[in-house]
Every structure is written in structure tokens, then in C-alpha cells.
Amino acid sequence: MSESTSIRERERQIVDEFSMFDDWMGRYEYLIELGSDLPLIEDRYKTDEFKIKGCQSQVWLRPDYRNGRVYFRADSDAVITKGLIALLVRVLDGELPADIATAPLRFIDEIGMKEHLSSTRKNGLASMIRQIRSYASSVTAEA
């Protein structure tokens, strides 16, 4: 299956935005700022069911499958983590489950945030991506 062009397009936009900063501090400050754009999960869904395991900070993510597309709401009590989730959601929100399941998500590396993908960091980005992909695959299988 070919890569979704709209996902890739949104990733490119993010890479462009981050390329305006020439140091890590600027990139992190921008990341934290983007965290405030995250569509927040309602407090009543901040339960174990929607909690991402293996994180140092608390992270909740709730996917919602409507009209053939997947929408996400999430939150975290750590602002850097929240910024990272906001980026993921921005790239994947409203896409087809099959596209979400197979998106390579290269932009994380491209904006210099690759270290957050390491499982030892326990910020949950890697487990969040796993969770998103497995949810997307499960609804793809149902469809």
C-alpha cells in the first residue's frame, strides 16, 4: 500500500516549521507551545482503559472511529510529552485507519526528536505509536 499523501504533507509542514529554529531550545519551546493545541480527552475518559502504559508521565489517548476515519483525543501531565502527542495527533487525526496503521512517521526523527522514540525514555511516545497502530489495524480488520 502506498503512503498517504495527506499524512506525508502534514509531516512536511511540521518539519518546515521546526526548521525555522536553529537551536534545540527553540524547538523544544515550540513543541511545548504546540501541546496547547492538542484536542484534550475529557476527564471522564482519564481511566486505566485509555492510559498508555510504560510512561513516566501520565498519558491518556482515546481513539474514536467515525465514518471510516479515526480521530484522537489525548492528554499528559508532562508538557514535552503533550507536545509530542499533539504532533502525532496533528499528523494522524481524521485519516483512514489503513493509512494510520502503516504511516512510517519519519518526521519525529526529522525534527530532531528521535531520542523520544527510545523505549528507555519511558515517555510513552513509542508505546503510544504502537497503541495507535494497533488500534488502526484492528478497525481496518473490522472494516
Partner 1 sequence: MDTTLTPATAALNVELLRKDFPALHQSAHDHPLVYLDNAATTQKPQSVIDRIRRYYESENSNVHRGVHFLSQLATDAYEGARRTIASYINASDPREVIFTRGTTESINLVASSYGASFVPGDEVLISTMEHHSNIVPWQMLCERRGCTLKVIPVSDEGEIIYEEFERLLSERTKILAVCHTSNALGTVNPIQRMIRDAHALGVPVLIDAAQALPHGPMDVRELDCDFLCFSSHKMFGPTGVGVLYGKQDLLESLPPYQGGGDMIESVSFEGTTYNELPHRFEAGTPNIAGVIGLEAAVKYLQKVSPAAISSYEAELTDYATKTISSIDGVRIVGTAKRKVPVMSFLVGDIHPYDCGTILDRLGIAVRTGHHCTQPLMHRFGIPGTARASLAFYNTFGEVDALADGIRKAKSMLMR
Query: Could you write out the DSSP letters of every residue in 24-66?
Result: HHHHHHHHHHHHTTS-BPPGGG-SGGGBPSS-SS-EEEEEEEE
Residue of 58, 102, 131, 138 that binds partner 1 (CB under 8 A): 58
Provide the minimum distance between the beta carbon of 57 and partner 1 in the complex, in angstroms, as a whole number.
Answer: 5
CA 142 to chain centre: 23
The verdict on whether 47 is a catalytic residue reads no
Binding residue (CB under 8 A) for partner 1 from 14, 15, 79, 98: 79
Residue 127 touches partner 1, criterion: CB under 8 A: no
**Interaction of residue 77 with partner 1, rule CB under 8 A:** yes
Residues 6+ apart with CB under 8 A from 60: 41, 45, 46, 47, 50, 51, 52, 74, 75, 76
Using rule CB under 8 A, residue 57 touches partner 1: yes
Q: What are the residues binding partner 1 (CB under 8 A)?
A: 24-25, 28-29, 32, 56-58, 77-81, 122-123
Q: Which residues are catalytic?
A: 55
